[in-house]
Amino acid sequence: MGCTLGKVCSDIPGVCIVLQMILVVAISGVLGYLFVTQELMR
């Protein structure tokens, strides 16, 4: 996975890794929330 913010990455290395981690955490959080709500709706 490459970072789309090339300039920011060249200025601050490691920013891409943090952004990707935040992205993964956000996606997993949303999926978990959807799963829980679906289970509770039954």
pLDDT of residue 4: 57
The answer to whether residue 37 sits within a structural domain is yes
pLDDT of residue 26: 97
Per the structure, the count of domains in the chain is 1
Each residue's pLDDT tens digit, 3-42: 555 565 566 677 778 888 999 999 999 999 999 999 988 8
Range of the domain at 10: 6-41
CA distance 16 to 4: 9
Flag whether the pTM goes above 0.75. Answer: no
Write the CB contacts of 1 (distance below 8 Å, at least 6 apart in sequence).
Answer: 20
pLDDT of residue 22: 95
CA distance 39 to 42: 6
Instruction: List phi, psi (to 5°) of 13.
Output: -65, 140
pLDDT of residue 16: 75
The answer to whether residue 1 sits within a structural domain is no
